[in-house]
Structures are given as C-alpha cells and as structure tokens.
C-alpha cells in the first residue's frame, strides 16, 4: 500500500498544488477533531478516473467523481440541500429554474466559481453528452450576474432537480472550453473541481484511489485529511483487520461484524435483480406467455435458495415499495405452476413424452443468460440462473442456461441476441424518471431497459409524468404506469437483495444510506456529507 501514497510523474501539477496549499491540517479545525485518513474498501477497485467523462458509468464510478466535482444541489440523509446553489425556485410562466449561487466558492486551482461555469457546463454537456444527465429538455442557460443563473426548459420537466440540479457535476469553464474530446482528456487539470476533496492518484492496476481534503471548501474543511479507496478480495476481513473503515457487506456477515463492534447500516429497497425478456420474438412477444413466466417463477424461492433468505420479492411494477410513488395496488403474479401450465395449454402447447411442452412439432425451449452482477459496487456470485431454470422446467419449459461474463451478457441484450437474461440495476428510490429510462425504447443508454414500445398508453403516460409539475397529479400518473407495466410484463423484477454496509465507529464518522439514493438514486452508503462538519 505504500506505493499508493506515491504521486506519479503524470500528476506533478496536483502534487505541487497540494504541497503549496498545506493540506495536512487546518487552523480552522481543532487538531483533536481532525482525522488523518478514511479508507473505503470494495472488491472491484477500478471504477475509472474520477471526472464526468472517464468514470465507469455505474454508481461507484459516479461516487468517486462526486468527491471532486460538486452539483448545484445535493442530498443529505433526509433530502435535498443547497450545494453550489444557495437557493432555487421554479418559474412556471417562463419554464425556468432560477438558481442563486453561493459567493466566494473557488475551484481547486484557486480560480473563482461563477455563473459562467454553470452556463458553460450545460452548453458543454449538450454538445458532449454526459449520460448521467439528459439535457434534451433544457433549452439553455443564461447568467444574470456572476451569482445568478436561469436555466430555461423546452417544456415542463418534473425530474429536473433530480437529474440536472442534483446530479450534474459543474465543470470549470477556464479549463474545459479548450477541450474538444473530453473522453480522451486526462491532464491533471481534468480533475480540478470545487468539491470537498482533490484527486491525487488512481492506480488502475491496484484499484486504489487517493484524495486530499480541500481546505478551502465552501462548506468548511472536511474532517478527514486523506480519503483512500482500496481494492480488497475480502472486504469484511479488511474491515476487521483495521485496513478499511467502511465497506459493503454480505447480509449474513452483519451479526459477526456487529459483535465485533462495527456499525451496520441497511438500505431501503433501491436495487433490483430482474429477468430481461426479448419481447420482440415469439413466443415472448405474447403477453400471455410472459405471464406464464411470472407465475412459474417463485421469487421467494430464489431469495431463500440463492441468497440465504436475505432479500424481499420485487414489485412487478418496477418501482420499489419504499418509493414515495409506489402503487400498492400494482398487479401481482403469485407463484402458481398449475396456472402457468393452463395458460400454455390455452395457447396450443401440449406436453411431449418427457413432460416438456411442444407446439407443431417444436419443443418449447428458451436460452437463459446469467452472469455475476455488480450490486452496489460489489461483484456478487449467485445461483439465480440455476433456480430460475428449475422453476421454468418445472412447468414444462426447457431451459438452456449459459453463464457468461456480465459484459458479454450486456452486449447480447443490447443487440437483442437473447431470449431471457438475468440482470439488475439500482435507481429505484430516486426520481420516477427511472421508469422512462427502464421502459421507453426512445430513451437509450441503459442495458437494463426493457425498451418496450408496444403499448401506446404506457408511452403516453411516461411522457406525461415527466412534464407534470404538480406532485400529486404526477403521482397518479406514475401509479397508472406501474399498473400497465405489471400487466404487460416487458421484464420481470425478481427481488430486492438486502443491501448493507459496515463501518468502524472509532473514527467518529457516521455513514448512512441517503434517502432516495445519492444523485439519481445510487444505493451506496458513501455520501460526501458524512465527512463534512455539519
């Protein structure tokens, strides 16, 4: 690990700046309250370089970037709070959000942050899209003085604060205005933000990251001098040995760690494992057949046999029951193999001598792709595919199970080269726009999207809820979306795994899961507010 503290030749600019700034301690914070370092462990390590264009496009990659780059608004344990914007309001007459920016904020290189940086960021992201922040609903931005910005919308857009205000990292104009290819830009200046930590080093081979506290941070100097991410084959043992202070854990380790003095935090249901369905090909294009799958699958058995009972059955309407817009009357499909068989037979299928269904001389056979999925930053091996195969074969559907690398499975799903595939994603506690992202074929980007356009009423409602600024009216639209989605079953949510993290309380840091998830709904207990003096 000593090599991690070595700043490599490619980072001389940042190192020189850190030394000049005198990072290691601050006259503003009593020495007895300062923490030398905090270490966070995960099993993957490499989540890309921490700027908007070079981090890996999943939650852990975004979080590593978020220490360096701040947003207009953020979330603490309970909800939205001011960040670079001291306040904001929506003007329905002009379809605009007006942000009053904080004064005195500085970039890591000492240059002042102003409204020009916000306007530039929006223009730059529209020209060079950052996939976490869709801006097609944004017409543009205008600076009204150095500390006021008006962001005008094309039409009313309810998810704006969640997807733009609370997720969009603001980048410095004086650096990025000269960059024509942001995905290839990797000079030290590419990591100058105005967040609570400065990026120092990333060892791609070892999966280690080093950050140093920003002593000029506008919300006060962080309590921690150094923030370090380490790759650990066994994160729990790394925590117990004192080499890490925080890590995600497997639920069955919670009691042991609690007995050892660690604090266990458990998240709400914000991540789901689901069965992707190729609804473009027969018989999967028939909703009756998709309902056969739903009745054949026993969600609780998957949880019990593949996850030792840690988890809960998922809603067929996609949104988590812990979401504020969850519809408790969403249609469900109780495990009922007999009903599944009756539906198959009503579709003209008959059993052959081996007990499997066939039609017109062709045996009913499906290919099921399964792979190790990354859950909240951890690569998780499970037996989901094996259990689902047995359940489907129990009702007479022959299944060819293929265990592939996740990247291979993702590639086949993107190209519609599959029948069924086990996948998963988070975001189920954030803004309801997740429904659009995971259903609408016109919204591209996520390999986890069902890309379902066969029901025009569903597509109409997806568009309507995004433009409804009245919270209660929007909620009713989202209720109806869940009902139709559960009726159509373009994909089947299987379960919500129990998601837990453990930390050592001796450092005096209290970690937590953010209500609604960080940014778009990231279900990971690494909110940067935990390291600030609040």
Cβ-proximal residues to 167 (8 Å cutoff; 6+ apart), any chain: 71, 132, 133, 519, 520
Per-residue tokens: 363: 């045996």
CB 200 within 8 A of CB 5: no
The string of pLDDT tens digits covering residues 365-385 is 999 999 866 555 455 557 899
Average confidence score pLDDT of the chain: 91
The string of pLDDT tens digits covering residues 234-250 is 888 999 999 999 999 98
Entry pTM: 0.83
* Percentage of the chain modeled with pLDDT above 90: 81
Cβ-proximal residues to 25 (8 Å cutoff; 6+ apart), any chain: 31, 34, 225
pLDDT reading at 296 higher than 50? yes
Cβ-proximal residues to 353 (8 Å cutoff; 6+ apart), any chain: none
Mean pLDDT over residues 300-304, rounded? Answer: 96
Domain 69-179 bears CATH identifier 3.90.76.10: yes
The string of pLDDT tens digits covering residues 438-493 is 999 988 668 899 999 999 999 999 999 999 999 999 999 999 999 999 999 999 99
Residue 11: the pLDDT is: 38
What is the number of other CB atoms lying within 10 angstroms of the CB of residue 243?
14
Can you tell me the distance from the alpha carbon of 313 to that of 473, in angstroms, rounded to the nearest whole number? 28
Higher pLDDT, 361 or 9: 361
Mean pLDDT over residues 422-436, rounded? Answer: 91
Q: Kindly indicate the confidence band of residue 31, based on its pLDDT and cuts at 50, 70 and 90.
A: low
Can you tell me the distance from the alpha carbon of 246 to that of 497, in angstroms, rounded to the nearest whole number? 19
Determine the 3-state secondary structure of 275 from DSSP: strand
Can you tell me the distance from the alpha carbon of 419 to that of 115, in angstroms, rounded to the nearest whole number? 50
The CA dihedral of 442, 447, 448, 449, to the nearest 10 degrees, is 10
The string of pLDDT tens digits covering residues 69-124 is 999 999 998 889 999 999 999 999 999 999 999 999 999 999 999 999 999 999 99
Mean pLDDT over residues 146-174, rounded? Answer: 96
pLDDT reading at 18 higher than 50? no
CATH no. of 1-68+195-267+501-534: 3.40.190.10
pLDDT reading at 357 higher than 50? yes
Determine the 3-state secondary structure of 291 from DSSP: helix
Determine the 3-state secondary structure of 137 from DSSP: coil
For tokens 């699958």, name the residue: 297
Residue 10: the pLDDT is: 38
Residue 270: the pLDDT is: 87
Sign, CA dihedral 40-46-47-49, equals positive
Residue 397: the pLDDT is: 98
Backbone region of residue 308 per phi and psi (left: phi > 0; alpha: psi in -120 to 50; beta: other values):
left
The CATH T-level fold of domain 272-497 is Dipeptide-binding Protein; domain 3 (3.10.105)
Residue ranges per structural domain of the chain: 1-68+195-267+501-534, 69-179, 272-497
How far is CA 134 from its chain centroid?
Answer: 15
Residue 13: the pLDDT is: 33
- Neighbouring C-alpha atoms within 13 Å toward the C-beta of 488: 23
For tokens 């890591």, name the residue: 108
pLDDT reading at 30 higher than 70? no
């Amino acid at each position: 690990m000593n090599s991690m503290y070595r700043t490599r030749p490619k980072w001389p600019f940042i190192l020189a700046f850190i030394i000049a700034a005198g990072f290691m301690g601050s006259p503003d914070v009593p020495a007895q309250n300062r923490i030398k370092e905090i270490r966070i462990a995960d099993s993957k390590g490499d989540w890309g370089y921490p700027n908007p264009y070079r981090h890996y496009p999943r939650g852990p990659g975004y979080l590593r970037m978020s220490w360096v780059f701040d947003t207009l608004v953020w979330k603490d344990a309970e909800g939205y709070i001011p960040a670079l914007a001291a306040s904001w309001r929506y003007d329905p007459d002009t379809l605009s959000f007006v942000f009053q920016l904080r004064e005195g904020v500085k970039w890591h290189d000492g240059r002042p942050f102003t409204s020009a940086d916000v306007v530039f960021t929006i223009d730059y992201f529209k020209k060079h899209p950052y996939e976490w922040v869709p801006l097609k609903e944004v017409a543009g931005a205008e600076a009204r003085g150095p500390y006021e910005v008006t962001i005008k919308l094309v039409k009313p857009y309810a998810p704006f604060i969640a997807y733009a205000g609370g997720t969009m990292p603001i980048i410095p104009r004086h650096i990025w205005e000269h960059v024509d290819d942001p995905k290839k830009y990797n000079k030290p200046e590419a990591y100058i933000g105005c967040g609570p930590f400065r990026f120092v080093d990333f060892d791609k081979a070892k999966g280690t990251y080093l950050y140093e506290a920003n002593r000029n941070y506008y919300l006060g100097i962080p309590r921690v001098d150094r923030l370090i991410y380490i790759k650990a084959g066994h994160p729990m043992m790394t925590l117990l040995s004192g080499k890490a202070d925080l890590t995600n854990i497997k639920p069955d380790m919670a009691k042991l760690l609690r007995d050892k003095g660690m604090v266990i935090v458990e998240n709400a249901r914000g991540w789901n494992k689901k069965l992707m369905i190729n609804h473009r090909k027969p018989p999967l294009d028939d909703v009756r057949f998709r309902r056969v799958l739903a009745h054949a699958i026993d969600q609780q058995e998957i949880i019990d046999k593949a996850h030792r009972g840690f988890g809960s059955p998922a809603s067929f309407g996609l949104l988590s029951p812990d979401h504020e817009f969850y519809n408790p009357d969403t249609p469900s499909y109780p495990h009922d193999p007999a009903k599944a068989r009756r539906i198959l037979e009503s579709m003209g299928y008959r059993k052959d001598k081996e007990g499997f269904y066939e039609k017109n001389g062709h045996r009913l056979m499906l290919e099921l792709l399964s792979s190790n999925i990354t859950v909240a930053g951890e690569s998780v091996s499970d037996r989901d595919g094996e259990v689902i195969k047995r359940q489907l074969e129990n009702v007479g559907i022959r299944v060819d199970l293929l265990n592939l690398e996740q990247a291979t499975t993702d590639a086949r799903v993107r190209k519609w080269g599959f029948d069924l595939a086990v996948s998963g994603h988070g975001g189920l506690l954030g803004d309801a726009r997740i429904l659009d992202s995971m259903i609408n074929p016109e919204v591209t980007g996520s390999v986890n999207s069902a890309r379902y356009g066969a029901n025009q009423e569903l597509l109409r409602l997806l568009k309507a809820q995004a433009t409804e600024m009245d919270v209660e009216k929007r909620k009713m639209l989202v209720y109806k979306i869940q009902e139709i989605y559960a009726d159509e079953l373009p994909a089947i949510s299987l379960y919500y795994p129990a998601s837990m993290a453990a930390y050592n309380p001796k450092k005096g840091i209290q970690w937590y899961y953010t209500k609604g998830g960080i940014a778009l709904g990231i279900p990971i207990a690494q909110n940067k507010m935990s390291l600030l003096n609040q």
